[in-house]
Amino acid sequence: MGVEVAVEGLSKSFGRQSIWRDVTLTLPPGEVSALLGPSGTGKSVFLKCLIGLLKPERGSVIINGVNLCTCSEREMYEIRKLFGVLFQDGALFGSMNLFDNVAFPLREHTRKSEAEIKRIVFEKLELTGLQGAETKLPGEISGGMRKRAGLARALVLDPEIILCDEPDSGLDPVRTAYLSQLLIDLNAQIDATILIVTHNINLARTVPDNIGMLFRKELIMFGPREVLLTSDEPVVEQFLNGRRFGPIGMSEEKDQATMAAEAAHQEAGHSDGSNEDVRGVVPQIEPTPGMPARDAVRRRRNRVLKILDTLPESAQHGVLASLSAEDLGRYDDWARRAAQGRMNTRHAGPVATIPGVSTLDPDATGRMHAPPPPLPHRGARPGDEHRQRPRPEARP
């Protein structure tokens, strides 16, 4: 399983230009997370800080107990071996064919025989749908193939953490859908912790387990996907619906006067540039039939139910609506008994009833969580009926 990445109070500037400050989030092990944000908000800079290519001024990035911001060169070298990185442009060597590009990290960082390297390279080329293209040069293949070759190369050292910087950039919507499926299938197969930086709204809605957003030099939100997808924060709604009207401007945030002028413009019937108004939690992509089930889904359900009462109400409904009928019935059972237990005593006995969801027990202090919300109707669009300002959820 992938490892946890715990970021605490991270701040980064270039000279006097502050990029973002006090960013705190935890990438849960083996889950897929996405980081959104308007152009220039420092998403790529954040990825580079996670692998130690850039040094933040303050804060920590803890992986396997090592703080990347203060560790030795030797420790950094070891931690970097855990990462596979897909850069925006694939970052392939133009003079090497795909086979040699993908084999490069194995030849550089391991003592594997050429026969073993060949086996691994062909395995990763197959995983990314590039079998048969191994003799092509990067200049002879399409942008989508270059992306997949970059992904194949990112995978050869069996990374536990995969960072993908705009994996969809330059791809058409259909290829992006294939790539989204590939990322989910990959997670199902190797259970790595994945962080995707993207502007792609469809990918953001359907792939990650957790979503965060950078805006105005801060991480304004990070948590289970249901939190951001049901949020009525103007900046989140504007971003998720690709609208021109809202706090995000062409180069930076807008002032109040500009926003008021826009609102008047909109009320007068002018288009805001979007062609749809999608709200609520859309279903997450599942692994292709024949692939293993994602362990991350079970772990996340476990984790999110434990913190359910801390989420905004609309997000709680989104989470509950995504449970299977069987798990929903068990959760309902547990919720009733938990509420009953609270009425009778400050401490109830074990109440976990969902298989694998042992965290539904009271925590070590015997504290029970707040009453869960009433169960939603199956098929209801969570977030439609309960819309409230979310609390930032920095630790999913």
Ligand X SMILES: Nc1ncnc2c1ncn2[C@@H]1O[C@H](COP(=O)(O)OP(=O)(O)OP(=O)(O)O)[C@@H](O)[C@H]1O
What is residue 68's three-state secondary structure?
coil
What's the token pair of residue 246?
């809202």
3-state secondary structure of 193: strand
Q: How far is the CB of 220 from ligand X (least distance, A)?
A: 14
Q: Min. distance of Cβ 35 from ligand X in angstroms?
A: 9
Of the residues 2, 28, 30, 42, which one makes contact with ligand X according to CB under 6 A: 42
Which structure tokens are listed for 301?
């359900």
DSSP 331-387: HHHHHHHHHHHHHH-S-------STT-GGGS--TT-PPPPPPPPPPPTT--TTTS--
* Given 5, 23, 41, 213, the residue binding ligand X (CB under 6 A): 41
* Binding of ligand X by 45 (CB under 6 A): yes
Terminus-to-terminus CA distance in the chain, angstroms? 18
The smaller minimum CB distance to ligand X, of residues 46 and 331, is found at 46
Q: Which stretch binds ligand X (CB under 6 A): 42-50, 222-230, 295-303, 338-346?
A: 42-50
217 binds ligand X (CB under 6 A): no
Minimum CB distance to ligand X, residue 197 (Å): 6
CA 192 – CA 290 distance, rounded (Å): 19
Looking at the Cβ atoms of 198 and 210, the one nearer to ligand X is 198
Binding status of residue 198 toward ligand X by CB under 6 A? no
The DSSP output letter for 132 is T
37 forms part of the interface with ligand X (CB under 6 A): yes
List all residues 6 or more positions away from 116 whose beta carbon is below 8 Å from its beta carbon.
none
Scanning residues 289 to 328, which ones bind ligand X (CB under 6 A)?
A: none
Chain mean position to CA 118: 32
Q: Would you say 370 and 318 are in contact if contact means Cβ atoms under 8 Å apart?
A: no
What span, in angstroms and rounded, lies between the C-alpha atoms of 395 and 176? 28
Q: Of 30, 43, 86, 280, which lies in the binding site for ligand X, with binding defined by CB under 6 A?
A: 43
The count of residues interacting with ligand X (CB under 6 A) is: 10
CB-side exposure of 8: number of CA atoms within 13 Å? Answer: 9
Among 40, 273, 355, 371, which residue interacts with ligand X (rule: CB under 6 A)? 40
- Point out which residues pair with 210 in neighbouring strands: 33, 224
Compose the 16-35 pattern: x for residues touching ligand X by CB under 6 A, - for all others. Answer: ---x----------------
Shortest Cβ distance from residue 214 to ligand X (Å)? 7
In the bound complex, what is the minimum distance in angstroms from residue 163's beta carbon to ligand X? Answer: 12
Helices (H) and strands (E) in the chain, counts: 13, 10
Out of 24, 44, 181, 266, the residue judged to bind ligand X by CB under 6 A: 44
CA angle 276, 277, 280 (to 5 degrees): 135
Closer CB to ligand X, 49 or 305, in the complex: 49
Pairing, β 32-36 against β 193-197: parallel
Q: Which of residues 54-93 bind ligand X (CB under 6 A)?
A: none
Cβ closest to ligand X, residue 124 vs residue 243: 243
Maximum Cα–Cα distance across the chain: 72
Residue whose CB is less far from ligand X, 169 or 284: 169
Q: Residue 88 or residue 302: which is nearer to ligand X going by CB?
A: 88
Nearest to 90 by CA among 11, 168, 20, 151: 151
Q: Which residues pair with 305 in a beta bridge?
A: none
**CB of residue 384 vs ligand X: minimum separation in angstroms?**
30
* Sole binder of ligand X in the list 39, 70, 142, 388 (CB under 6 A): 39
Query: Which is closer to ligand X, CB of 37 or CB of 312?
Result: 37
Based on CB atoms, which residue is closest to ligand X, 51 or 117? 51
Q: Which residues bind ligand X (CB under 6 A)?
A: 14, 19, 37, 39-45
